[in-house]
Amino acid sequence: MNSDDRLARYNRTRVLVTGGAGFVGSSLATRLVGLGAEVTVLDDLTTGLEELVPRGVKAFVHGSVEDPETLDPLVAGSDYVFHLAARVLASSTKDIRSDYRVNIGGTLNILLAARDLGPKAPPVVYTSTTSVYGNPRALPITEDEPTNILSPYAASKFAAESYCRAFVEMYELPIVMVRYSNVYGPHQSPRNPYCGVVSKFLEAGLEGRPMCIHGTGLQTRDFTYIDDAVTATLLAALVPRALGEVFNVGSGVETNVRQLAGLIAGLMPGQPPVEFIDRRDIDNVSRRVVNIEKARRTLRWVPETSLERGLAATLQWLESSKRAGQRATASQA
C-alpha cells in the first residue's frame, strides 16, 4: 500500500491544524482538504498569512494556542490534531518571552486539552525541529543523538517535546513528534521576513540582486521539499507504532550554502552573483544532515523530491506568483 492509499484514511475525518496559515501548516491543510478531510485552521497571523489558508477548509479561527478557551473545543471536536503553531527561529531571539509563551505554553495547552478528553483524545502530531541537535557529534544525525541547544528557539521546541514525552508516559496520550529540517518549496513567500534561505536566494536571483550568504557559506543543511515533509507528517498520525516516538524529517542529503547558491544560479538566465555578509547570531550550526532510516522503517516514508527538482518547482511557483501579482497591479492601475 503506497502513501496515497494510506492517506485516504483522512477522508471525512475532522482535523485541526494549528499554525495553518503558515508555510508548512497551510500546505498540510491544503493536502488534507484534497483528501476529503474537514479541516479547521487556528492561527494568530503573527507570521502566517490568511491568504495561504486553503479554500475548502471547514473553518478558519483567528486565535492563539495561548488561549485555552479557544483551543479546548477545537481539540475536542477533532479526530486528529497537527500542532504547527510556533514562533520561528529568526524571530525567537527578538522576543524570547513570546517564543516561550507560544512554543512551550501553547503546546502545553494542546496537551492539556487532549488529556482532559481521556480515552477519546485524538492523535496529536507535534512538529519540532532538527535545531535541537545543534552541532552534533556525528553525521548523519539519528534521533538518539543528544540534544545540543544553541538558541532560545531550540530550547522552547525541545521543552515542548519534553512535555509531549511526559504526557505520553503519564497519560498514555497518542502523540508523535517530527523534527523538520529546513523545509522549503512553493508558497514559502519571500515577502515574509522569516522565510528560509531558498526563497530569499530565488527572489534575489529573479530580481537580479546578489544572493547574500551569511558567513563563509560552508555551513551545511539538509533541505526538505514541502511535499515530502507534509507526507511524513500525515503518515505519522496513522501508524500505531509511531505513537510516542520522534522522527527526523529530512532528505538525508547534506548541502552547503555555497552549493545551494550555485544550484539556484544555474536555474537563472543571468547567473546572479553571490555576496558574503556578516554571520548572524542564529547561524551557529556548522553542519546538519539527518538520518531518516527510522521514518523509512516505521512510517514507510522516503522523500521523493531531489533538491534540484524541488528548487525548479519552487522557482516555477515564484515566477507564476510574481506574474499574477503584476497582473493584479496592472488591473488596478
Percent above pLDDT 70 for the chain = 95
Other beta carbons less than 10 A from residue 272's beta carbon:
21
For the chain, the maximum distance between any two Cα atoms, rounded to a whole number of angstroms, is: 61
Q: How far is CA 202 from CA 89, 215, 245, in A?
A: 20, 19, 35
- Count of alpha carbons within 13 angstroms of residue 39, beta-carbon side: 29
Ranges of H-type helices in 172-242: 197-206, 226-236
- Give the right CATH number for 3-181+226-250+291-304 from 3.40.50.1000, 3.40.50.720, 3.40.50.10310, 3.40.50.300: 3.40.50.720
Specify the 3-state DSSP secondary structure of 178: strand
pTM: 0.95
pLDDT in tens, 22-38: 999 999 999 999 999 99
d(Cα 290, Cα 136) in Å, to the nearest integer?
10
Chain centroid offset of residue 101 CA:
19
Nearest to 47 by CA among 94, 9, 116: 94
Strand partners, 17: 41, 82
Domain ranges (residues) in the chain: 3-181+226-250+291-304
Other beta carbons less than 10 A from residue 89's beta carbon:
18
Specify the 3-state DSSP secondary structure of 326: helix
Cell of 113: 486539552
Whole-number pLDDT of residue 60: 98
pLDDT in tens, 188-208: 987 765 568 999 999 999 998
Percent above pLDDT 90 for the chain = 85
41: amino acid identity, one letter: V
- Which residues have a catalytic role annotated? 153
- Count of alpha carbons within 13 angstroms of residue 159, beta-carbon side: 17
Residue 92 has pLDDT above 90, yes or no: no
pLDDT in tens, 148-173: 999 999 999 999 999 999 999 999 99
